[in-house]
Amino acid sequence: MLTLTEEEIASGILAGADDVIIRPLQHREFILRIRSLVHVHEEKVQLMRSRDLLGEHARVSESC
């Protein structure tokens, strides 16, 4: 059994963890957290694509 203090959890998040799952693992909660992480990732990818497209449009406009 692994017991984490509030400080250890905070350290993990500050070190780059996206989330902390507390045991015992609840199946439904786990599935919902995974869905949330996938959604955040998809939104981030879409945002980066939009940023790249805007950059391309700006470069084309500057060259005209």
DSSP helix/strand/coil, 61: helix
Range of the domain at 41: 6-63
Note whether residue 22 is domain-resident: yes
Does 1 map to a domain?
Answer: no
Residue 43 lies in a domain: yes
Do 23 and 2 touch, CB atoms closer than 8 A?
Answer: yes
Domain count of the chain?
1
Residue 2's pLDDT is: 59
pLDDT in tens, 1-33: 456 788 988 998 999 988 888 778 889 999 999
* pLDDT reported for residue 39: 97
Q: Is the pLDDT of residue 34 over 70?
A: yes
Given a contact cutoff of 8 angstroms between Cβ atoms, the answer to whether 56 and 34 are in contact is no
Q: In this structure, is residue 23 part of a structural domain?
A: yes
Question: How far, CA to CA in Å, does 1 sit from each of 9, 12, 14, 24, 46?
Answer: 15, 18, 23, 10, 39
Which tokens hold the place of 45?
A: 């990818």
Q: Give me the amino acid identity at 20.
A: V
Tens-digit pLDDT profile for residues 35-50: 999 999 999 999 999 9
pLDDT for residue 51: 96
Residue 50 domain-assigned?
yes
